[in-house]
Structure 1
Amino acid sequence: MKNISLIISVLIILSNIIFSQVNPNMEKAKTIIRETKEKFAPDKRVAVFNIEAEQPANKIIIKGETNLPEAKEYLIRTLDGEAIKFEDKIQLLPAKELGDKIYGVINLSVSNIRTNPDHPAELSTQSLLGTPIKVLKEGQWGFYLVQTPDGYISWLDDDGFQLMNEEEWNEWKSSEKIIYLNEFGWAYEKAELNSQHISDLVAGNLLKLISEEKEFYQVEFPDKRIAFVHKNESQKFSQWYQSLNPDGEKILQTAYRFMGVPYLWGGTSSKGMDCSGFTKTVYFLNGIILPRDASQQVHTGELIDTKNGWENLQAGDLLFFGTKANGEKKERITHVAIYIGDGDFIHAAGRVRINSFNKSKSYYSEYRENAFIRAKRILSSVGKNGIEKILDNSFYKYD
């Protein structure tokens, strides 16, 4: 009995010695993982880096998933450089289980993209019919983790898009398309306005062009449904895109079209918009892609001097609101609007509406004036400073 007790004591001592040797490496591994995440994936809205270290039976295992191959390579190289022995169980996305179906195209007029793979989950953002997306993995309840052209990553159910392989995806992108330009409308079963509806449509929807029939375009949806769209409400995408020459006045003309549209958290269409969904949609209809959220849009464009008020602002500039940095408290951008002129701005707040910094106006907003932080000019930054034209974006671009 004494021998057994002695053996157990020796094993405990040896275990503690081994643990004391491994544990410092465990803490070092956690630090390296954290630093790698800060370097490559500081914004979880546009990158997946869910990686952790664990130590079962005194063995370090690095596990999790990321869609950033360069981040994984850097992490492993850094761990090796520190002579940390570990087992690599990191999965690169897209997940292998998807096979070659790692692309897709939005198949509804407006698809709802959520923070979690469940229909009651919070609406994260929306994406419009015809938008190319990338698929990262399959979740529960028919949801897929997807990435939209603005980089946003969240969950979309399989009714909202058509799953594709690379060949199908490139064929969709390279095909001739129409863009729907009315705020609301319909795709019809026949080239007749009184025929059966195939789908509703909203401004910015893209459909493959099949042919022309009198006053209608015959079009194809990503899932191969055939329909007809009236020419008065749409235009060939190539003609529309080539005709674009956005300036402040055109930005405002587009913005005014959405006056009164209700506020919808996560909304990016004429059915309902949040503040950054409004600015994003307005600029998209002028051929320009903005990041999704106000706190992302603020990092793009050209900074405008507003120390003396609104005298340097121009129509179409973006105005950003929130709380300023104070001591250890970081700046927080929570709202965005489009500048009109004379202190006026248009934004989605309850509904798309106009308010003003100008105290002489009946629609002056003291709340917004106090919350104003800075302004950015987008139109002077197309092709730089985080601002892209639609066909310069890698999701829309094709060879």
Structure 2
Amino acid sequence: MRIIKYVLVIILFYSCSTIDKSSIELFQRLNDSIQSKYAPDKRVAIYDISLKNEGNTLVLKGETDKAVALEELKEKLVRNNINFEDRVVVLPDSSVGVFVAALANNSVSNLRAKGKHSAELVTQVILGTELKVLKKHGSFTLVQTPEKYIAWVDNGGITFLNKNEFKNWKDSELLIYTKNIGNSYQDNGFNRVLTDMVLGAKVKIIEELENSFKVEFPDGRNGFVKKEEAESYSKWLIHLKPSKELIESYAKSLLGSPYLWGGTSTKGMDCSGFVKTVYLMNGFVTPRDASQQILAGQVVDEDLKLKGLEKGDLMFFGSKATKDKKQRVTHVGIWLGNDRQEFIHSSRRVRINSMNPKSDIFDVWCSENYLGSRRYLDVEDKEFLKL
């Protein structure tokens, strides 16, 4: 009798283990499929879910900002008779409290790969940029930018807003800074600097004066901005007419600006940050990285012969696809549309180079690693926003 009991226990143990193993394998297939559907790019979506066997219970763990993806996963698990306990955290989580949004409070706020100052700089946001708050941890907060990029920002670089405060900001008359770089001041005589300012920065207008705007920063500081260096944001939008010429004008105004990995401002910018800045001032919120920007817009110059390109088109460079590996986009520039085959890009600094081997500014690497071009102007695409 005792031997029979032991045999039954062993059979039951291995039966449970087999069931749990098969359930976990099925989960992995379902989970991978849902992640590919809702969060294929970790830079713009969070989907980190696993199924753990804890005692006699299968437990869903992890976090996601895609509630619909989690619900689909749970439905499929139930449909496949997999019993589980749901412990997945859906972002924004409880750590954010009443804060639904944040505003960049510095001329440029740095966003990092992890919630610490020593982590890699992955992107930046300029003053007045609206951010979605996902979770807080210590002195850093995980946020999502208008182009959906997700990264950590030092709390000193942002101001948190509850629902009413965010609505108030959205309803306020705002100012946009239109000079490449400058200052705001503590006094209307422009004698005492309050902070530096960069192209595209936004603050709230309190009062329009003869030579200045009195403004309020996201954290409540008041200051003055020279009228010749700024404009009412609503009026700027009304008068904004994106064009090839305007793209060229803003791009060339940034010539000589320093290269900065992760940079997106006139203080310093990487190649895709340069594109992002130029197009922002033409009314576009573009994807952040070159490998994302190539997925937006209309394909031009399919044969890579530099035919059909127009001023303002984005040119992409990197490693070409082989039978063993996929194409890898690592660089982007803006075509200038002249008979010298010139383009402008941020590489070491913002500079102009040529695709023409006879030019004294010919760029060998770009010529050999050209992957194709995309057009954003006059194109409707869900991959970028228009202001």
Instruction: Using the TM superposition, give the Cα deviation of residue 69 of structure 1 relative to its aligned residue in structure 2, in angstroms.
Output: 1.3
Name the residue aligned to 2:350: 352
Name the residue aligned to 2:237: 241
Matched, 1:164 2:161: yes
Name the residue aligned to 1:393: none
CA change 1:355–1:306 in 2 (3 A) is farther
Name the residue aligned to 2:269: 273
Correspondence for 1:338 among 334, 339, 342: 334
TM-superposition CA deviations, 1:208-244 (whole Å, max 9, x none): 0000222010000011100000001111111111111
Structure 1 letter corresponding to 2:137: G
Instruction: Using the TM superposition, give the Cα deviation of residue 6 of structure 1 relative to its aligned residue in structure 2, in angstroms.
Output: 8.2
Matched, 1:287 2:283: yes
Correspondence for 1:310 among 291, 306, 311: 306
Q: SS where residue 362 of structure 1 aligns? A: coil
Instruction: Using the TM superposition, give the Cα deviation of residue 360 of structure 1 relative to its aligned residue in structure 2, in angstroms.
Output: 1.8
Structure 2 contact 147–384 (Cα < 8 Å) conserved: no
Instruction: Using the TM superposition, give the Cα deviation of residue 306 of structure 1 relative to its aligned residue in structure 2, in angstroms.
Output: 4.6
Q: SS where residue 83 of structure 1 aligns? A: coil
Correspondence for 2:15 among 14, 17, 21: 17
Higher alpha-carbon deviation: 83-92 or 223-232: 83-92
Structure 1 contact 22–58 (Cα < 8 Å) conserved: no
Correspondence for 1:148 among 145, 148, 153: 145
Instruction: Using the TM superposition, give the Cα deviation of residue 7 of structure 1 relative to its aligned residue in structure 2, in angstroms.
Output: 6.3
Structure 2 contact 104–157 (Cα < 8 Å) conserved: yes
Matched, 1:322 2:335: no
TM-superposition CA deviations, 1:350-397 (whole Å, max 9, x none): 10011111122100012101110111111021x43523212xxxxxxx
Distance 2:302 2:12 in 1: 67
Higher alpha-carbon deviation: 219-228 or 334-343: 334-343
Structure 1 contact 130–205 (Cα < 8 Å) conserved: yes
Counterpart mapping for 1:172-187 below 5 A = 172-187=169-184
Instruction: Using the TM superposition, give the Cα deviation of residue 309 of structure 1 relative to its aligned residue in structure 2, in angstroms.
Output: 2.1
Matched, 1:372 2:370: yes
Q: SS where residue 102 of structure 1 aligns? A: strand
Structure 2 letter corresponding to 1:314: E
Structure 1 letter corresponding to 2:301: D
Instruction: Using the TM superposition, give the Cα deviation of residue 247 of structure 1 relative to its aligned residue in structure 2, in angstroms.
Output: 1.0
Name the residue aligned to 1:197: 193
CA change 1:234–1:310 in 2 (3 A) is same
Structure 2 contact 304–372 (Cα < 8 Å) conserved: no
How many residues align structurally?
A: 385
Higher alpha-carbon deviation: 208-217 or 144-153: 208-217
Structure 1 contact 19–58 (Cα < 8 Å) conserved: no
Structure 1 letter corresponding to 2:300: I
Distance 2:308 2:364 in 1: 20
Distance 1:384 1:44 in 2: 21
TM-superposition CA deviations, 1:75-96 (whole Å, max 9, x none): 1111111111111111111002
Structure 1 letter corresponding to 2:250: T
Instruction: Using the TM superposition, give the Cα deviation of residue 336 of structure 1 relative to its aligned residue in structure 2, in angstroms.
Output: 0.5
TM-score by length of 1: 0.93
Q: SS where residue 296 of structure 1 aligns? A: helix
Instruction: Using the TM superposition, give the Cα deviation of residue 97 of structure 1 relative to its aligned residue in structure 2, in angstroms.
Output: 2.7
CA change 1:308–1:319 in 2 (3 A) is closer
Name the residue aligned to 1:397: none
Name the residue aligned to 1:231: 227
TM-score by length of 2: 0.96
Instruction: Using the TM superposition, give the Cα deviation of residue 153 of structure 1 relative to its aligned residue in structure 2, in angstroms.
Output: 0.3
Distance 1:215 1:378 in 2: 37
Structure 2 contact 186–222 (Cα < 8 Å) conserved: yes
Segments of 4+ moved more than 6 angstroms: 5-9
Structure 1 letter corresponding to 2:221: R
Give structure 2 stretches of 5+ with no counterpart: none
Matched, 1:91 2:101: no
